Each structure stands twice: as structure tokens, then as C-alpha cells.
Structure 1
Amino acid sequence: MNGTIKSIMKRCSIRKFKKDKISEIEIDILMKAALAAPSGANLQPWHFSFVEETKLITGLEDYLVELAMNSGDEIAIERLKSRNNKVIFDAPLLVVVSSPLKGHFDMLDCGIAIENIVIAAESIGLSSIILGGMRVAFNGDKKAIYEELFCIPKGNQFVAAIAIGHADMISKQHELDESKITRIK
């Protein structure tokens, strides 16, 4: 099995990271992997904010916890409590993905780029988790503030974020559910 397939098969979501910084070489690899993603008509409808500023990341996490705790959603609150009020899990790098979301394939194209990033991370010994739930911070009362803080270009919308770092836990990949595939010959 080649290295790419091994990375795809090994990758899983990590919810606890070491505080170790990610090297400039590793960040450069991740940025290039993002930009190398294919897109419909090569429109590249994305923007990536690579955020290493710890105060900015923890400030966003604190706001997300506050929103969840005040949401009245008991399931979300219990889930958050079970994770020690962690949403970004102490990751030293947060990649925020945004797009104008005007084209038919913009969301799909961003998803492909996100997959490039997480597989590239796995291939160089880093771990990740894709975070979509934090969209509440980028759509709520503080939308303009967070768009500015995370350098989201005017006209773009938050798509998802990726927390990346060195795993501080052991996790196993999910079971492969072959019932999700129909083969037609």
C-alpha cells in the first residue's frame, strides 16, 4: 500500500493536541496542499486563514463555549462538558476556510481542499479534526468581528475550520461500513 493510501486509511479525528508548535516547513506543506486542490473550472473559490495566534484561537473557543452554554441545547451542552469545554482541543494551528459560495460547486471545492489539507497533515505526522460547528461564531452577533480577526475576505462566508497539531491521544479510525457502497457492474 502506498503512502497516500496509508494516510487516507489511518487518518481519524483527534480531540486532544499537544501544545507543540508546527514547523514552518509543515505549514508550508499544508498551504501548498490546500492550493493544489482541484476545483470546478479551476475557479479556486476559497480562502484559507492559517491561524497560529494562541490568544485568537482560545478567544474563539471561549466564545463558542459561551454560545453553546447559552443555547439551551442540552445535548450540545453535555457533549461540550464531556470534552472539558474544548472545541478546538488545544490545537496550535487552526485553518479557517471561507468562500463566496456563489458558484454551484464552491462548497464541494472547499471540501476537496479541506480533504487535501487533512490527508497532507496525516502524511507528515500531524493530526487533525474538521470543525463545522463553529460557524455560529461567524454567523452570529459578532460575525463582522470574527471575519476581521480571522482575515475572511469581504463577501466570503465561513465554510469550516481544521484544527491541526500533534496528537496527544490515541484514536482509531472509524469502522468502514461497506453497506454504504453499491457496486453496479
Structure 2
Amino acid sequence: MDAIFSRNSVRKFTEEMPSEEQIERLLRAAMAAPSAKNQQPWEFFVVTNKDCLQKLSEATPYSMCVKNAQAAFVLASRRDGIIAPEFRDIDMAIASENILLELEALGLGGVMIGVSPIKENMEHVRDALKMKDELIPFTIIPFGYPEKRRPLEDRYDVSRIHYVK
């Protein structure tokens, strides 16, 4: 699991487009995520259209980097057919993390930009993608080949560990 210890957030990308095979592998990684009661609430938008990437870059105060990416995933969850709605966001977060880890494993990079639960951000994403009302925008993950890599910070903090014996 070296990807866990080498992955960091990438916001600057080269102009090289990830391959269709890489994109499929990333989607497969996302869909391999565990989910509560196997509800698999996710829907994935693969965005490569530059006008749409520009619109998505305006969705939140932190999404400016989307306009410079060659591609982005937008993850949304379904409203209908969800068995355990109280765990929907956890399922979505795990699928997002799987994408981030697989990006690292493939030599790519990306960053998870939170959209939900801020209604204005969610509506902006919904409008940019002409998303159906039965879907709930969750996150934007711009991705591609990193312009540069930076060393990962060791965040291990023994003071935050509590053993119960």
C-alpha cells in the first residue's frame, strides 16, 4: 500500500490526457469500494469538455484547479433505491478515496474537492452537468499527470492514539 504513504493532493497538471484504460481502471477502483448493505449509491461523470471543466472550476472557492485539468470525475449519489441513506456519504467518500489511491498507483494525481453538503456548490455542479434531480452532487476530482511531485508529510501522531485494553 505504498500509494497511501506517497499520495498527496495534486492541483497542477500537465497537458497530457490520461488514457481511456486508465480512466476505466480508476472507475473500477471506485466501484470496488465497500458500501453499506451493498447499496452502491454512486454515479460517475467523466468530464473532459473544457467548457464544462471551466464551469466546474467555479463551483466552490477551492475548485479553481479544475479548469487546468485534462479531466475530472464528478461523483454523485442516487436518492432512489438507497437502503441505508444515513451511510450514503460514507460510501461516497470511500469510493473517492479509492480513486485517489489508484491515481497514485497509476502515476497520476488528483485532489478531492468537497461539494456536498453546501447547497450552492451542489446546485452549481448540478447546473454545469445538467444533472437530474434524483442525483446528489458529492465531490469533484480533477486528475491527470502531475506537473510536479512534492514530498509527503509524515502525519503520524502518537498523541492521537488511545489504546483501550
- Shorter-chain TM-score bucket reads 0.7 to 0.9
Provide the rounded CA distance (Å) in 1 between the counterparts of 2:22 and 2:125. 30
- One-letter code aligned to 1:99: S
Q: 1:112 aligns with which of 65, 69, 94?
A: 94
Q: Does 1:155 align with 2:134?
A: yes
* Shift >6 Å, 4+ stretches: none
Partner of 1:73: none
Partner of 2:122: 138
- Cα distance change of structure 1 residues 123 and 28 upon mapping to structure 2, 3 Å threshold: same
The count of corresponding residues between Structure 1 and Structure 2 is 158
Residue 38 of structure 1 and its aligned partner are, at CA, apart by 0.9
Partner of 2:69: 91
What is the aligned-residue identity percentage? 27
Partner of 1:72: none
Unmatched 5+ stretches in structure 1:
69-79
SS of aligned partner of 2:112:
strand
- Cα distance change of structure 1 residues 12 and 144 upon mapping to structure 2, 3 Å threshold: closer
Provide the rounded CA distance (Å) in 1 between the counterparts of 2:40 and 2:150. 33
The alignment's TM-score, normalised by the length of structure 1, stands at 0.75
Residue 145 of structure 1 and its aligned partner are, at CA, apart by 2.3
Q: Indicate the RMSD between aligned Cα atoms, in angstroms.
A: 2.4
Partner of 1:128: 110
The alignment's TM-score, normalised by the length of structure 2, stands at 0.83
Partner of 1:173: 152
Partner of 2:162: 182
Unmatched 5+ stretches in structure 2:
none
Cα deviation digits, residues 113-160 of structure 1 (max 9, x gap): 001111011111111111015853433xx5652241xxx343221111
Equivalent residues of 1:51, 1:94 under 8 A apart = yes
